[in-house]
Amino acid sequence: MDIYFFGTYDCKADAKGRVKLPVTLLNQMTPIRNEGFVIKRSMYDNCLELYPMGEWNTVMKELNTKSRYEPENLNFIRKYTAGLRPVEIDGTGRLLIPKNLITTVGITKEVVLASINKNLEIWDKALYEESIKAPADENAKLARKVMGNEKPNGDVS
């Protein structure tokens, strides 16, 4: 089942690494909650990524099409799956983040869960705020570039 998450949520992590998920997010997870989830370090940012098991299996099928006899492919897969662990959401709606992953990305007490289509990013709040902070003109330029309204030479169409 395809599920697309939406929203950004401020949460708190306790000393054991448990994060109480907001009801709005838990409701989005209802159709897939029993499938389980995987968590891993992000390859691109100083955060964690949480995938529903079905979505993770799709990612793994794509990775499995890459030749294992190419050192570059193996290097990418190794880095992409670094820190990968299965996780569950308990009966009270808490996600237990493994201690080593919390330490790796610098999560303290304040946590942000940010939806990225079919998965969630888990950030230390201060790091998240820093990552999204940029002047309006930079945000506008990025939006044009990503959304396809900018030609390769920088001209706006």
How do the domains of the chain map onto residue ranges? 8-132
8 Å CB contact between 49 and 119: yes
Most distant CA pair in the chain, distance: 53
Q: Tell me the CATH class for 8-132.
A: alpha beta
The model carries a pTM of 0.87
| Nearest alpha-carbon partner for 45 in 116, 147, 98, 149 | 116
Q: What is the pLDDT of residues 67-120, one digit of tens each?
A: 989 999 999 999 999 999 999 999 999 999 999 999 999 999 999 999 999 999
More confident residue, 42 or 2: 42
| Structure token pair of residue 66 | 């890459």
Neighbours of 56 (CB within 10 A): 23
pLDDT, averaged across the chain: 91
Overall average pLDDT of the 1-29 stretch: 94
